[in-house]
Structures are given as C-alpha cells and as structure tokens.
Structure 1
Amino acid sequence: MSGRAARLVTATLMGAAFLAFFDRALLAPMITAAAKELRSPPEAIAHAVTVYVLTYALAQLPWAAVSGRFGQLRTLAVASGLAAAGAVLSACAWDAGSLTVARAVSGAALAAIVPTILVHIGDSMDLSRRAVAAVNLATALSLGMTAGSAAAASLAEWWTWRAAFASSAVIGAVVCLVFAWNGRGGGGAVVGFWRSVPYLVRNVWVWAVLVLAVVEGAVLVGVINFIPVALEADGVAVAVAGFALAAFGIAVVVWSVVVRALVRRLTPWVLLAVGGATAVVAFALLWGVRGVVTATVAVVLLGFAWACAHTQLQTWATDVMTGARPLGMALFALALFGGGVIGSALGADAVARGSYDGLFAAAGLISVAFAVGSALLRRVYRPVEQG
C-alpha cells in the first residue's frame, strides 16, 4: 500500500469511528418525533434504542472471526455498507417494528468498527503511545456523537427525523467505498479465533476488565442516551434537549486536550478514579435538580469521565488481551455495549413510568462501583507490555 493510500485508510478509519457513534446517537433525541409520526407510544421507539445496543453487542464475536479470515479492510467495507443499508431502512420505516428491525441491522453492522481500530492500535503502538491514541479515537467517536445528536435534534424539530438516517447512509456509503477500493490490508498478524479462547478464559485480568466494561457501559453507553428524553418529559423542546446531549461529544473533544497532558503525569489508576468520581457527581446533579443548564453541566462532566476513565480502560484492555487481541477486543466491546443494554433497559423502563429520578440515582451508584473497582484493580495490575 502506497503512502498516500495508507494516509487515506488512516483518515477513513477515523471516519468510520465517526460514523459508528454518529449513527448510534441519532434515534434517542428523535424518540418523541418518531413516535408521533409513526403513531406509536414513545416506549416502543425507546425499545429500538435498546435493540440497537443489543445487536451491536451480540455481533462483536462474529465480526472478530470474519476480520481474521477476510482481512480488516474488507470487513470494514462490508460492515459500513451494511450500516448504510440499515440507515436507509430506518429512514423508510413505517412503524415501530420496522424501525426496530432497521436499527438492529445498523447496530450489528457497526459493531465491527471500533474493535478493529483498537486491534490496530494495540498491534502498532507501545503501551504509552496507546493511551494517547485511545484519546484520539475517543475524539473521533465523540465528534460523531456530537454531530449525530445535533443533526437528529435539528432535523426532527425543523424538518423530518428521516433525513437524519439518510445522512448516516451517505457517510456509510463513502466509508464503504474507500475501504473496498483499498482491498485486503489492515496490518497486524492474523490471530486464530479459537486459539485465543483458552488464553482469555484462564486470564483473571481479562474477566476483571470485562466486568468493569459492563459496569461502565451501563451508564456511559446506556443511561446517557436518555438524558434528552428526561428533559423532554419536563417540557423542554426536542431541539434543545438534543443539543444538551450533543454537549457530551463537544466536552470529550475539549477534555481530550487536558487528558493527553494528564496521561503523561498521572498513573492510570488515578485517572480511572478521577473519571469515575466525575460520573458520580454528574448523575447526582441529574438526580437532584434537573433542567437544561444542570443537564448540560452533567453531560460535560460525563464527557470528562469518558475522555479520562474510558480511554484508560481501553488502553488497559489492549495490554490484558496481548496475544489474543482480535477476539479479546471484540469481547471488550461486547461487554461495554452489553452494559449499554442494561442501561438502555433501565432507561426504557423510566420512559414507560415517566419517572427519571430512579434512573439517575441508579446510574450514580453504578458509577461509584466503577470508580472504586477500576482504581483498586488497576493499581495492583502489572502490565504485560512495558513502555
């Protein structure tokens, strides 16, 4: 692969990361608008969010096997193409059921993207450089989430929610074409899928990191999507509520500059503790006094928690999974978004009951468990790879 082609692929990897969270962020701010047009109860549309996260989680392992056999770029081409198809189906949905199926297709397709990028980071960089690379990845993902939330809120308020899914289809098609044009490639030695299983099963640190990923995913992947819905229930306009969540992505991008400096000065366990504690404060604010200003402040704090704690957890996972990264990082994503399913289920229940105080209280307690557990475990962990 020429230098120019390599640079194009590198840029497209970040574009694919952008797409993954752009698409994921679309439906939550549009639940009310979609429910009204499709003549369905809001909780039925909210379940589509849960199904999306569920299929994203369940598709991790199949994609790990596919990428090892057919190559990373071919796999990413197929995945982004399927995601584009799912977005088209979402834009054409005629009821809650068809929307749920379409969202399931997109969720399953986009499951391939982030683990593949993490494997590339783990294979091509030493441990110290991975921490910065993980922050850069978080920036691309957060830009996608910001743009997705803002686009969804704006289009649902002033035009049609269907246009938001159409925009995701366009991005997916472009990413698909670039990856398809560049053929097999992908870097890194192929690691046997089944040969990785015994190593991962016997490694107690693998289990520890996966449990922490479930806990983190419940709040930072699942519950966070229901902040706009909670604001809408209190009478806030759809567009304003959506932009409140969009502040999360903006915050991650801004905080990433700070975190890049912090990773060179603070130890990983301290960063995990600080990030987890920040999430506790954020959900305490949402539980105590809810409003646009309070929600925006809370979301900005959650952006710091993601930029600080999540990137450290990702970096830790790339070290724990050494020698079995394709399957290991797929399991990490499965755990993270499996936790997101739990958080989304809690959110859907809150939508059905029309009460969000219990949701944010539970999220705060879960965040306490993550802050304490991750910091204590990371402090005693000894890295496999130094540097």
Structure 2
Amino acid sequence: MTKRHPRTPVHSVPDSALRFIGFLSFFDRYGTPPMLLALSLGTSLAFAQAVQLIAAYSLFYAIGQPLWGLVSDRFGRLLVLRLALMGAGVGALASIMFGDYVPLLVARCFTGLMFGALYPTLLTLLGDTRQGVHRARGLSDLQIYSSLGTTLATVSAGSIATYLDWRLVFALPALGCAAALHALRRVQEPEHTRAAFSLTAALRPMNLALYAIVFLEGGLLMGLLSYVVPALQHSGISLELAGLLGCGFALGVILGARLMRSLVSRFSRTWLIGCGGLVLCGAFLPSAFWPSTASYTITALLLGATNAIMHSSMQGWATDIAPTARATTVSFFVFSLFVGASIATYLTAALAEQGHYAQIFGYGLIASAALVILATTTHALWTKNSGEKHPSR
C-alpha cells in the first residue's frame, strides 16, 4: 500500500480565488438596491427603512477601511481575508434570520463592515505577489469579475427577491463565503513587509496627494455614475430599459479591461492615467451638451472604460507608493474613493431632484479636466522622485 503524502501548501492566492472573491464582494454590495420594493413588501420594513439598510451598509463598508488596512499590515493579509469572509458569511446568515428593522439593520451594518475588507485586501495581495505587467493585468481581471458581480446583482437580485424570496439574495453570498474559505484552505500567508510596518509611510505628502486625487475621482466616477439610470428614466424610457442600458457601465469595464491587458506592456502608467482621464471627459461631454437616452448610455459605457483604464492605473499606483504600509495605503485609498462618491452625490442631490442631469454632468466634465491635469502631473512627479522608468511594467 502506498503512503499518502499531505498536499503541499500554496504560497500564493490562486487567480481564480482572487477573481471569485472580487465577484462575491460586489455582488453583495449591489444586491440590495434592486430588491428594495420586494424587501419592504416581504418584511415589516417601510420603504424608507429598506433604503436606510443600504446607507448603513455603505457607511460601515467605508469606515472599516482604515482599520482593516492597519490590521492587515500588522498581522497579515490572509488573516484579514479569512476573518472577513467568516464574518461576512455570519452577517449574511444573520440577515436571513430577521425581518424587523433594528436587528436587520445591525446585521447589514456588520455585513458591510466585513465585506468592506475584501476588495482592498485583494488589491494588497496583488501588490505583494505580482510585479509590473502581471500586476496590472491582475488588476484588470479583478475589475472584470467585480463588474460581473455588480451586473449580475443589478439584473437578477430584484427578480430573485420578487419571484422567489428576498432571503435568497442574502443566502447566496453566505454560500459564496464558504466556497471562498474552502478555496483558501491551503494558502499560506505571502511574504510582505509587516515587520517593517510604518504608519508614517502611509501618511507621507505624496500619499496624501494620492488620497486627494482619488477623492475627486471617486466623486466623478462613482458619485455621478449613480445618476445615469435616473437620467435615463428622466429621458422617457421605462425603469427596466433604463436598468439594462445602465449596465453599459459593466460592458465598458469589461471592454476597457481587455484593452488594458495589451496597453500596460506598451505605455507608462502616467500615460494610462491621462488617457483614462480623457475618456472620463468624453463620458460626460455628450450628456452635458446633448442630453438624451443615447448620450446617457454613452456616458455609462465610457465611465466603465474609465474605471478599467484610469482607476485600475490609480490602484496600481496605490499598491506601489508605500510598500512598508501597502494595506494601510490601499485602505485609505478606497476610503477616500467612497467618501468622494458620497460627497459628490450629496452636493448634487438637489439638482438631481429637479431633473437637471445635464448640469450635473457638465460640472463633471469641468472637474474631469482638472482631474486629468492633477493626476498625470502628480504621478509624473512621483515617478521622477521614485526613480521608476516604466511604472506600469
């Protein structure tokens, strides 16, 4: 009888696991909004209370970012990833058990806090285990699968909740967390610089400049994206068609990410940031001057392409700028992105209520031009000072 040897540990998170966790985190994050009506009808919640569940989830998703980054840099990436997956699974199961407002609110807050750790940790792992073109392509792949998670949640969650049961929308991420933990069962903690961890490294002037830039980018890319579907409805089409056309964002991400796989080996990251910024300007241009169903659809598509080209390049910058505090830097980066999106939405809410979407996108066009100049010049300065010749490689 032959002796069976234990399977050897894996020292790097498999690409398939990275992509699946990225898909899972965005499916849960975007699964609740499409089922708001079904959730309010199937529970004791008023519609306004169902909306508050989303706001509370988003709040805890954002505010946990710096904490997770500090823990990851101090104790390890895999520890955070596994704890977050276990916590997210528990939170998703708790969300199934309650139909009253307060316990369901607590469950969704906890779930948001846990799921908020996943994507920044994935970015940090890519920074730890990939270099140059391989890292950039890994970021592009991660964006593709995250976008697929967003799209599937947007398209299917409402139907699942309406025709089957709202609890199933929360049960699926719980099953996904269990599957992801199983996929990570033999993975060992990758090497990183936690022994030399320095919080100061995450708060250097150039890091603060990066956070300020991504704050503006978040307001434009994520904050104004939330107005695409309402603008499409305002143009006179049905909610169903508006939602379908709004998924042009996901198509833009996928097409842009595929394009990025060839661009990263040919052009510098500074060039890619500038190119993506020009695409962002192009996204707002038609909706600002010729508002219509077609122009809003173009805006959705080009915002997705911007996300794949410019934002993935910004993510690569965030993973490079402070290796001794990589997870903390990435977490501050993501936190700044979400805060920027929230503030942009808050500042333009009155205009949206009055249906002035062309004016909103016009402001986005002006701010995008400023973002292109600020982001490219700052990255070029950082590249010069850091001595890197071709950052995307």
- TM above 0.5, yes or no, is yes
State the identity %: 27
- 1:206, CA displacement in angstroms? 0.8
Question: Take 1:24 and 1:243, find their aligned partners in 2: how far apart are those partners?
Answer: 19
Question: Take 1:97 and 1:347, find their aligned partners in 2: how far apart are those partners?
Answer: 30
Report what 1:206 is aligned to: 207
Report what 1:182 is aligned to: 186
Please tell me the residue identity of whatever aligns with 1:144: G
Residues 8, 211 of structure 1: alpha-carbon distance in 2 compared, 3 angstrom cutoff: closer
Equivalent pair of 2:11/2:190 in contact (CA under 8 Å): no
SS at match of 1:355: coil
CA deviation digits over 1:288-310, x for unaligned, max 9?
55555443322111111011101
Residues 133, 13 of structure 1: alpha-carbon distance in 2 compared, 3 angstrom cutoff: closer
Report what 2:82 is aligned to: 77
CA deviation digits over 1:332-361, x for unaligned, max 9?
12212222322443576667x353525434
- 1:67, CA displacement in angstroms? 2.9
Question: Take 2:276 and 2:338, find their aligned partners in 1: how far apart are those partners?
Answer: 19
- 1:278, CA displacement in angstroms? 1.9
Residues 153, 227 of structure 1: alpha-carbon distance in 2 compared, 3 angstrom cutoff: farther
Please tell me the residue identity of whatever aligns with 1:186: E
Report what 1:125 is aligned to: 130
Equivalent pair of 1:233/1:354 in contact (CA under 8 Å): no
Question: Take 2:193 and 2:320, find their aligned partners in 1: how far apart are those partners?
Answer: 17
Provide the aligned C-alpha RMSD in A. Answer: 3.3
- 1:131, CA displacement in angstroms? 2.2
- 1:80, CA displacement in angstroms? 1.8
Residues 165, 347 of structure 1: alpha-carbon distance in 2 compared, 3 angstrom cutoff: farther
Unaligned runs of 5+ in 1: none
Report what 1:368 is aligned to: 369
Matches within 5 A, 1:45-56: 45-56=50-61
Question: Take 1:96 and 1:60, find their aligned partners in 2: how far apart are those partners?
Answer: 25
Residues 128, 223 of structure 1: alpha-carbon distance in 2 compared, 3 angstrom cutoff: same
CA deviation digits over 1:140-187, x for unaligned, max 9?
2222222222222443565555533332232223223433x337x230
Report what 2:109 is aligned to: 104
Residues 276, 268 of structure 1: alpha-carbon distance in 2 compared, 3 angstrom cutoff: same
Please tell me the residue identity of whatever aligns with 1:200: A
Question: Take 1:332 and 1:384, find their aligned partners in 2: how far apart are those partners?
Answer: 22
Report what 1:191 is aligned to: 194
Question: Take 1:267 and 1:129, find their aligned partners in 2: how far apart are those partners?
Answer: 14
Question: Take 1:291 and 1:93, find their aligned partners in 2: how far apart are those partners?
Answer: 42
Report what 2:222 is aligned to: 221
Question: Take 1:53 and 1:356, find their aligned partners in 2: how far apart are those partners?
Answer: 26
Most deviating of 332-341 and 81-90: 81-90
Please tell me the residue identity of whatever aligns with 1:155: I
SS at match of 1:323: helix
Question: Take 2:213 and 2:308, find their aligned partners in 1: how far apart are those partners?
Answer: 16
Q: Which protein is bigger by CA-based radius of gyration?
A: 2
Matches within 5 A, 1:267-306: 267-288=268-289, 292-306=293-307
Equivalent pair of 2:69/2:331 in contact (CA under 8 Å): yes
Report what 1:380 is aligned to: 381
Please tell me the residue identity of whatever aligns with 2:244: F
Structure 2 residue 266 is the aligned partner of structure 1 residue 265: yes
Question: Take 1:91 and 1:234, find their aligned partners in 2: how far apart are those partners?
Answer: 37
The alignment's TM-score, normalised by the length of structure 2, stands at 0.83
SS at match of 2:324: coil
Equivalent pair of 2:284/2:361 in contact (CA under 8 Å): yes
The alignment's TM-score, normalised by the length of structure 1, stands at 0.84
Question: Take 2:366 and 2:102, find their aligned partners in 1: how far apart are those partners?
Answer: 33
Residues 118, 355 of structure 1: alpha-carbon distance in 2 compared, 3 angstrom cutoff: same
- 1:286, CA displacement in angstroms? 3.8
CA deviation digits over 1:76-107, x for unaligned, max 9?
12212322333344456646666554443222
Equivalent pair of 2:80/2:121 in contact (CA under 8 Å): no
Question: Take 1:344 and 1:162, find their aligned partners in 2: how far apart are those partners?
Answer: 29
- 1:253, CA displacement in angstroms? 1.5
Residues 95, 282 of structure 1: alpha-carbon distance in 2 compared, 3 angstrom cutoff: farther
SS at match of 1:324: helix
